[in-house]
Amino acid sequence: METSPPRHPSAQRISRSGDFGIKGFLETSFLDWPGRLAAVVFIGGCNFRCPFCHNAELVLEPQLLPSIPLGTILGRLSALRGWVDGVVVSGGEPTLSPRLPELLGRIRAAGFDVKLDTNGSCPDVLAKLAARRLVQAFAMDLKAPLEPALYEALAGVPVRLELIRASIDLIRLSGLPHLFRTTYVPGLLDHAAICRLRGAAPAGSPHVLQAFNPSRVLDPALLSVAAPSVEEMLVLGGAAA
């Protein structure tokens, strides 16, 4: 039985146009794959509308952004071989792209490991990628405790929590390096919610809290919300642990 939601319209455009929907490329990052120097590929289109999203242009109107040819990216990766030791595929939500397996296969054929960033809404896609060994690591966003109203508020749309739970279990059981991460947004999540959320992350799996950054957000109402202090993040981190 198909468990993922219908493909996003932008993903359908990708399929028809023959490109891979790559809307951004970062040649080197120390932050996106812990312990590795990685390149980052950004796929346009998303089925969530998280109010705190910092890649709003990838989410709202990816069709207005020029696509980067895969050949261009593979050429740069070849030039960076020996420095870059992995490629992070992020978004948007990359699992919405019908050409994602082909994209990951081309990156793997070029000799690079792949880490996939996901919101967990398409567990069937994650299962297929893991089974074909197209992914060597996962990072999944846990938006909130697995409570319908609260998760919807952080995701910006209704969410089928059974799909989120299925993705959590799949990633946990995959045997691959992985982490779960949550963006703490003051006013949308509180300390009690963070504690409840920690129970949704599997025991023994890394769960990272990251601070909300108000400088780039999808919902303009959050521009006036102050970023949490370092002290508050330390307190929250201790509570989550």
Q: Distance between CA atoms of 6 and 96, rounded to whole angstroms?
A: 9
Strands 207-211, 114-118: parallel, antiparallel or unpaired by DSSP?
unpaired
User: What angle do the packed helices 148-155 and 161-173 form, to 10 degrees?
Assistant: 80
Angle at CA 213, nearest 5°, toward 209 and 214?
Answer: 145
Beta pairing partners, 211? 184
Q: Distance between CA atoms of 80 and 96, rounded to whole angstroms?
A: 28
Query: Binning pLDDT at 50, 70 and 90, where does residue 17 land?
Result: very low
Quick one: what percent of the chain has pLDDT higher than 70?
91
Please give the average per-residue pLDDT across 116-142, as a whole number: 98
| DSSP 8-class letter at 124 | H
Q: Distance between CA atoms of 138 and 179, rounded to whole angstroms?
A: 7
Span 47-61, pLDDT tens digits: 999 999 988 899 999
Span 185-236, pLDDT tens digits: 999 999 999 999 988 888 889 999 999 999 889 999 999 999 998 988 888 8
Q: Distance between CA atoms of 106 and 60, rounded to whole angstroms?
A: 27
Span 28-81, pLDDT tens digits: 999 999 999 999 999 999 999 999 998 889 999 999 999 999 999 999 999 999
